[in-house]
Every structure is written in structure tokens, then in C-alpha cells.
Amino acid sequence: MSGVRIAYIVLAHTLPRQLRRLVDRLDGDQAVFLVHVDKHAPSDLYAAALRELAVHPRVTLVSRRSSRRTTFGQVSAPLDALAALVRRGDPFDYAILLSGQDYPLKPQAALRGFLADERRPCYLHAFPIEDPERSEWPEEATFRYRHWHVRVGQRRWSVPLSLRMPGRREPFGGSAYWALPRDAVECVLDTVEREPRLVRFFEHTFCPDEMFFQTILLNSSLRERVTTLAAPDCYGLHFIDWRPNSDRPETLDSSTLPRLQATPAFFARKFDATVDEAVLDAIDAELLGVPRGLM
């Protein structure tokens, strides 16, 4: 087995039993986990997550933040985890961001073999937002970062005040989920430390998790190493089923299994075991080779 060491950063909001199942499938001597449970999750859900994950000594629960969808909490939570990872000196070759509703599609040996590439690519779905020929968002998507966005509680307002990105950077967008080699992680953390104005800028944008890491890395010396799996419905190393004009990915069920079997992706999202747990059982049996008694 390849010696690639992986740090998994998992953002969880719900489904503690499914979170445990995800960690079960990824756990091993060459893996560590930093799990963030949204601050707004009910106390009983958080307690259940603690119980479910207590069997895994390689799991660390990071400080809880408000990480509601579309807010900067979706950036600050993984940044906290990355900073903790580097600060405590954990040896890792790649950091991979997942949600608690993701699931692997291939055995860990296959993933580590894939990541053993000496070029250390940054697996990050990205495109220049303002290039009409290459952008995957409609032209009006520039509203995400050209005007102030303010959120109070569960309500969000777009304030008609101009917002300008510091540093003459070109804005990039893409999927929120990534697999980054250690030097890319260090590049992001160094940028955060050196450029607080850039962080403050993104704090007032809409869906910053779909722009923050892309914009930093595509405007850095690592830009030539940013890549994604070139296959339908692949974003970074993820399979995600985005339907036209939808602002949320589809929940995957057993009818999606043939597509999951065919994709080169290593992870898929999103799943909900309360809706269809059979699809996870089928992935275990047919793609991961998990003995039935461990499902």
C-alpha cells in the first residue's frame, strides 16, 4: 500500500450514525480525522456524534462554529482544522475536505495509489468566474462578490455597496470540496495570515466556500498544479449530481448506483441514510469490498 498519509476534514451538520459510518470506511493507520459539527446542531445531535466517534482514536473534534450554508463559516471551519493540523505537527501528504454526507466509492488503497503522484496535484474544481467562455456560472453570478452580503440569524441581505477584492486577484469559483497536498495547505494558511483584508473580503461574499480556496490557489505559484477529474459530474475527486437551475445537489439513492460504479471519482455526495441506506450497503459490497457483517 502506498505510504500517502491523509488528513480528512469532515464538516457535519446532521446524521451522526452516518458520520460514524463514513469514518469507519476511511479509518486506518495512515489517516487522521478532524471533524467539525455545526454550532447550530442540536445538543443531542452533538452528543450522539461524540458517542459514535468515541471508538476512533484518530478523530479530533475541532471547535464548533456557525457553519450554515452560504456563509463564511463554511470556510472558517476547514481553515481552523487545517491550522490545527499544521500546528500540532501531524504528518500528512494530503488534506481532503468532505461533508458528513459524503461516502467513498473506491478502497483506500486505490485512493492512496492515485495520490502517490510525485507532482502532488491540487484536486480542486475551478474556473475563472469572469471569463464568459470558461465560467460555469451565469454572468450574474458576480453578485456573489461584487456586493456586500450580510447574514443575521437565518436571514441574508445583499447590500447595494460595492465590494472589491484586494490584491488585484482574478476571482475563481468551483466546488467547495477539495484534496490538497501539504504545500497547498501551507500556501492557503500563509495567505490567510499575511492578508487579513482578503479574509474580511470573503466574509462578506455569498457562498465563499465556492470561491475562497480557488481564488487563493489559482492566483499563486501553484496554479499549474490545480486540476480536477475530467469526467461527467466530477468535481475535484467528487461525484456530485447537480441538476440544471438547482442550488443543491441531488440526494443519491440506489437508482444512481450504475453511475457511481462507472465514475472515476473517489467520493460522492450527498447521501442520506434515512432516505436510502441501501445505496450505501451496495457501495460497501460492490465497490469497497466490505464484508457484510461490517456494514
Radius of gyration of the chain (CA): 19
DSSP string of 129-169?
TT-TTT-SS-GGGGHHHHEEEEEETTEEEEEEEE---TTSP
**Domain-by-domain residue ranges, the chain?**
6-230
What pTM did the predictor assign? Answer: 0.94
Over residues 257-289, the pLDDT tens digits come to 999 999 999 999 999 999 999 999 999 999 999
| Stronger pLDDT, 154 or 281, i.e. the higher one | 281
CATH entry 3.90.550 includes domain 6-230: yes
pLDDT digits (tens, 9 = 90+) for 174-187: 999 999 999 999 99
Burial class (CB in 10 A: 0-12, 13-18, 19+), 201: buried
Distance of CA 264 to the CA centre of its chain: 18
